[in-house]
Structure 1
Amino acid sequence: SLNERSTPAFGAGFYLSEEAPEGGSRDRAHAFFVDGEYTWRRVDDLLEPTRGVMANAQAGVGIPFVSTRGFLRLIGRTAAWWPLGRDTQLALRADMGAVIAGARDGIPSNFLFRTGGDTTVRGYAFESLGVQRGTAVIGGRYYAVGSAEVTQWVNESIGIAAFVDAGNATDSLARFSPAVGYGAGLRLKTPIGPFRFDVAYGEKTQEVRIHFSVGLSF
């Protein structure tokens, strides 16, 4: 059976950032940020779901006059699981976000988006996908990530997975170009949560990377 649960959360804080990417100019910014989020789950198991849906929505505001630049930050995330047979499972995930402001200058770097890595776009280094500035990759005002994965369970605790991920971060939706990664991996159900070992190929970099993660990636 599917269990339904929803969780709201709220927060506020003052943030400072100073960024000096190699080959780029130095940026200093601050923000007083107020945010809230809501998570809804309807799954058969909160730790290791095999059937159901999860969704998360986040909204926050960098307050004008007490921030270098006022801005609105929005994030939406969803994941779904379907059994394709007694021992086969399909998992889909989609994330997207936007920082709405007159320009990116004056927004602390931790509110901008980068992606890539174990739980987003496999085949790429952690947060290596974003906006190129000089020789560095910095955060963008928009991002989107999608993933599809099929797992074939050999027994109750060991599975073999094949997957494809795609995503990127950008400052311009017109220039958004998803980086694609795909590969295969091992799935283990352990007392501390699901363990994933993946080997992935990143089309953009033409490199193979190994990824480890523990726990639900949503």
Structure 2
Amino acid sequence: MKGVLSDETFAQLYGRGVQYFPIGKKSVFVGRLELGQTFTKEVTNVPTDWLFRTGGSSSVRGYDYQSLGISLGGSTVPGRVLAVSSLEYQQPIYKDWLGAVFVDHGGVADQWKDWKGSTGVGVGARWVSPVGMIGIDVAHAIEAKQFRVHFTMGVTF
């Protein structure tokens, strides 16, 4: 709250949901949706931890970690609104190994009317280890025209 140890009054709404849909006996289709908005009059007085950037292994694969935001003077700065969605299909391929194909789409903007998403597509492998799932993905960032390799441990999708 402005005037009480702060330069600005703001509020943030954020939510992330994951839904698993079994297909047959062992395959699974996974959907994820992430939405957020920071409400404030003056965004420059809000700490950047309370704004949004996205990109990387648990958001839009194929892009560098937190590289999707608002471009300003050659830098990527965070924005007030965020939307990210992912669809992934996982199929058993050998013993404790799963193959995966996915598409991610998301982005950040200062206002919803300015929001434009970026898309990443790719393939991956998952090992169901005794300590949790370990994964590797090769993803292509469509708009950036780049490939990236992403590693994950645990259920980070």
Sort the TM-score into its range (normalised by shorter chain): over 0.9
Within-5 A mapping of 1:1-218: 63-65=1-3, 66-217=5-156
Q: Which has the higher contact order (CA 8 A, sep 6+)?
A: 2
Q: Distance in 1 between matches of 2:24 and 2:132?
A: 23
Q: CA deviation at 1:156?
A: 4.4
CA RMSD across the alignment? 1.0
* 1:70 partner letter: T
SS class of match (1:149): strand
SS class of match (2:116): coil
Any idea what the Cα deviations from partners look like across 1:100-153, whole Å, max 9, x if unmatched?
A: 011211001111100000110001000000011101001100101000000011
SS class of match (2:49): helix
TM-score normalized by the length of structure 2: 0.96
Gaps of 5+ in 2: none
SS class of match (1:105): helix
Percent identity between the two aligned chains: 33
Runs ≥4 in structure 1, deviation > 6 angstroms?
none
Asked whether the equivalents of residues 193 and 214 of structure 1 are also in contact (C-alpha less than 8 Å), the reply is: yes
Q: CA deviation at 1:64?
A: 2.1
Asked whether the equivalents of residues 87 and 154 of structure 1 are also in contact (C-alpha less than 8 Å), the reply is: no
Of the two, which has the highest radius of gyration?
A: 1
Gaps of 5+ in 1: 1-62
